[in-house]
Structure 1
């Protein structure tokens, strides 16, 4: 079996485009197309269907992709294992997280211990993080719930409480805590659908038959923070994410303990890749 053909197939399947895959492998598009065609012709199968400017993986292609994902992870593991013989880990670590406020201190500590590892980070809600890991675009995910997908493994590493936060000019800013039901008279500022913190909070509202009349939905944690700081309403946040900001004030929710357990998530087959293993062991000794 031609390794170059398999590598070309894997790149196209992961990128969803021959153009992007060719760029990622530093090949011309005709060369990449020849590799994929060679694989299809040799075994008499169809691995992709054209769809607009991209491609859709066929049923046979999806089955093969499951195998090439494992092969790719094994190759990365072997390369990093051999590199580690020089006494210093090197390579790349791609992290998908639901918030910058929790992951940045962890990355800072890890980078200081492993300066030869290049770290890339991107942010999105819980659903996005999980999907990015499954599709192989990232190595590690940080999110406030365990993943139940069969290809992922989750490890809890910290617990946090959901609280309100308001601008310093808001009437609640002078109070240490408020009852959850008081949110009925306020504009609630929340993240978009797919946010686990939002989902957990809304479940508690339904359990207590509380209806928030005014809701402002914000698509990022930074945007939510700015909206609250400008006095547009009351936000919800994990207590550990509330960094110092002279414009906002935390307010506890009385008689309601909404707990979020942050999890470190990765593909099962990637857990022993040296770079990924080193990061996991840094967070969870």
Structure 2
């Protein structure tokens, strides 16, 4: 039995979404239909392509070999469908967007949603390492990420530049200063994102280079959690400036030892650049100064 387009697309979307239910939702079909397409694909190939578990699906070695081609096929199929529909206004679509910090990703999404209200968006925050892994595994449409690893398979467009600062409550003693030394910061309870983040890597290296050992360090899952911890007086945090919308209860204070400038970029797998929904988002990136 020949492999059908439905089987290939179902396989690609199951891997992208991480589940059969997610693929069914994106494709607008039933879960049983997606499961049947995967079963027929495996029967035709004579090999298992997916391992189904309680936490989702994983690729077998055969599936890994197939996924890149299947993902490119699904993107090409979408481009063909767009051409056949003509060049009318973008009246529907879907984007999966990830980021390693709330801003500037949320500003871009808000602007995009205003311009293209019929495009649905899934947005998730990941630590830097997980975000890069999802990009490399082609499980995302767009990533807004700081200092992405260059790759011949990725299109990278710079958005904004920033440096690390110390986040403190507005009534903290540090908030009255124009800058505060890293040693003074490390003498407080230091709040950092989880391991795997760019922040952990940069701050840990800078501390080591300066021979500084934090008095106490607390690890949080993401910047929104760090922000709440700072407001609750758990400690002070180190994160890129303008990582969140401005808050009158938080103050950013420069740290001289953390002078390096980092670039946050919009990153897209190159084989998806032809999609109108991707082009429209990159158009917003180009128009919005954040």
TM-score range, shorter chain: 0.7 to 0.9
Q: Is residue 57 of structure 1 aligned with residue 65 of structure 2?
A: no
The residue that corresponds to 2:256 in the other structure is 254
Q: From the superposition, tell whether residues 13 and 125 of structure 1 become closer, same or farther in structure 2 (CA, over 3 Å).
A: closer
Q: Can you list the C-alpha shifts for 1:84-103, whole angstroms capped at 9, x where unaligned?
A: 51244531122111222322
Q: Report the alpha carbon displacement of residue 54 of structure 1 after superposing the two structures with TM.
A: 5.6
Q: From the superposition, tell whether residues 232 and 12 of structure 1 become closer, same or farther in structure 2 (CA, over 3 Å).
A: closer
- Higher mean Cα deviation, 63-72 or 101-110? 101-110
The residue that corresponds to 1:241 in the other structure is 243
Aligned-partner Cα distance in 1 for 2:252–2:58: 47
CA contact (8 A) 2:94 2:119 kept: yes
Q: From the superposition, tell whether residues 43 and 191 of structure 1 become closer, same or farther in structure 2 (CA, over 3 Å).
A: closer
State the secondary structure of the residue aligned to 1:216.
strand
The residue that corresponds to 1:273 in the other structure is 275
Q: From the superposition, tell whether residues 64 and 282 of structure 1 become closer, same or farther in structure 2 (CA, over 3 Å).
A: same
Q: Report the alpha carbon displacement of residue 177 of structure 1 after superposing the two structures with TM.
A: 0.9
Q: How does 1:133-212 map to 2 (within 5 A)?
A: 133-148=135-150, 151-212=153-214
Aligned-partner Cα distance in 2 for 1:91–1:49: 29
Q: Report the alpha carbon displacement of residue 217 of structure 1 after superposing the two structures with TM.
A: 0.9
Aligned-partner Cα distance in 1 for 2:211–2:167: 22
The residue that corresponds to 2:119 in the other structure is 117
CA contact (8 A) 1:142 1:264 kept: yes
CA contact (8 A) 1:80 1:91 kept: no
TM-score norm. by structure 2 comes to 0.85
Aligned-partner Cα distance in 2 for 1:56–1:183: 42
CA contact (8 A) 2:182 2:255 kept: yes
Aligned-partner Cα distance in 2 for 1:101–1:89: 27
The residue that corresponds to 2:42 in the other structure is 40
Aligned-partner Cα distance in 1 for 2:263–2:55: 40
Q: Is residue 7 of structure 1 aligned with residue 32 of structure 2?
A: no
CA contact (8 A) 1:97 1:123 kept: yes
CA contact (8 A) 1:146 1:155 kept: no
CA contact (8 A) 2:162 2:263 kept: yes
Q: How does 1:67-146 map to 2 (within 5 A)?
A: 67-83=69-85, 85-88=87-90, 90-146=92-148
Total equivalences in the alignment: 284
Unaligned runs of 5+ in 1: none
Unaligned runs of 5+ in 2: none
Q: Report the alpha carbon displacement of residue 21 of structure 1 after superposing the two structures with TM.
A: 5.0
Q: From the superposition, tell whether residues 10 and 173 of structure 1 become closer, same or farther in structure 2 (CA, over 3 Å).
A: closer
The residue that corresponds to 1:216 in the other structure is 218
Q: Report the alpha carbon displacement of residue 190 of structure 1 after superposing the two structures with TM.
A: 0.8
Q: Is residue 27 of structure 1 aligned with residue 30 of structure 2?
A: yes
State the secondary structure of the residue aligned to 1:177.
coil
Aligned-partner Cα distance in 2 for 1:278–1:242: 24
Q: Report the alpha carbon displacement of residue 143 of structure 1 after superposing the two structures with TM.
A: 0.8
TM-score norm. by structure 1 comes to 0.86
Aligned-partner Cα distance in 1 for 2:104–2:142: 14
